[in-house]
Each structure stands twice: as structure tokens, then as C-alpha cells.
Amino acid sequence: MSTTTKKPTKTATTKSASTTSKSSEASTSAKKSSVSATATTAPLSAVDGNTPIAAKTATPTVVEGQQSVILGPVMRKKELIDTVVARSGMKKKDAKPIVDVMLDVLGEALADNRELILPPMGRVKVRKEKKLPNGRVLVVKVRQTTPPQKTDDAI
């Protein structure tokens, strides 16, 4: 298996040139990667190499304050007591202590991170808790089943 090459110098220079070009390509790619790592450019898409549309058009917004997610009017304790009195037919002096105790019990259960299953109101679970100097904030999940539709049978 001894084969002689007619031009051994070209083969040697070709190998060294290819080795040199590979090392220069590696240093060039290393420079490019360090430049791209330090530059603040938008990420490129893996599919076509272009910047995603969302990255091109995204503009930051500053939120001035807290945004409420309450969609309806707020029910206060006084209104709750008045509604209980109207629906139950009890006297206000009898219904008020019951509502107060009920709210105390519910507050204690939430403080203990207990899950509440209170049918027609629904199932209440504590998801997150944040302690503050003057109290704590609870993020709860309330799951309600859809009530059955009322039908008019007496027509």
C-alpha cells in the first residue's frame, strides 16, 4: 500500500491552509458570538433567522398604579346584613350577630389556609399569600358550578 504522491508540497500546503482557515473561522465565529452576546439585539427566529414580529413591535408600558379586577359593585357588610334580613325574614338584631360570627369563622378558615367548600357560593382555595406589615394579601381561587337554569313551568 505504498503510494507515491507526485506533489507532496501541495498536499502539505493544502492541509495547512485548510487548518489555518478553520482556525481563522473559529476565531471569527468566536468574535461574532462575543459581539452578539454583548450586543442588545432582538432574538432571532429558529425557522428563518429573522427577528420575530412581536420583538420588533413591542413597546414597554408603564403602569401608574394598581389596577382593579372587580367588575361589579362592591358589597359591604351592611348591605350583606340587609340582604340576609330581606331574604330570611329575620329581624336585623337577630341576623347581625349570625352574619358577624359567620364572617369570623370564614376569616379564621382562610387564615389557616383551609379550603372552603360552601355550596351555592362555591369552592374557595388559597393560592398565594403575601405577608405585609399591617396584614396579609391572599390570592384565592373561587370555583362555582353553574346554577341550573330557571324554567317557567307555570304558564
pLDDT one-digit tens code per residue, 72-97: 888 999 999 999 999 999 999 999 99
More confident residue, 71 or 67: 71
Q: Which of 53-57, 62-66, 96-100, 115-119 has the lowest mean pLDDT?
A: 53-57
pTM, two decimal places: 0.48
**Residue 69 phi/psi, 5° resolution?**
-110, 15
pLDDT, position 120:
87
Mean pLDDT is lowest, of 48-57, 65-74, 126-135, for 48-57
Residue 146 pLDDT? 78
CB atoms within 10 A of CB 80: 14
pLDDT at 39 over 60: no
Mean pLDDT over residues 20-34, rounded?
48
Residue 28 has pLDDT above 90, yes or no: no
Q: Which of 25-34, 78-87, 142-151 has the largest mean confidence?
A: 78-87
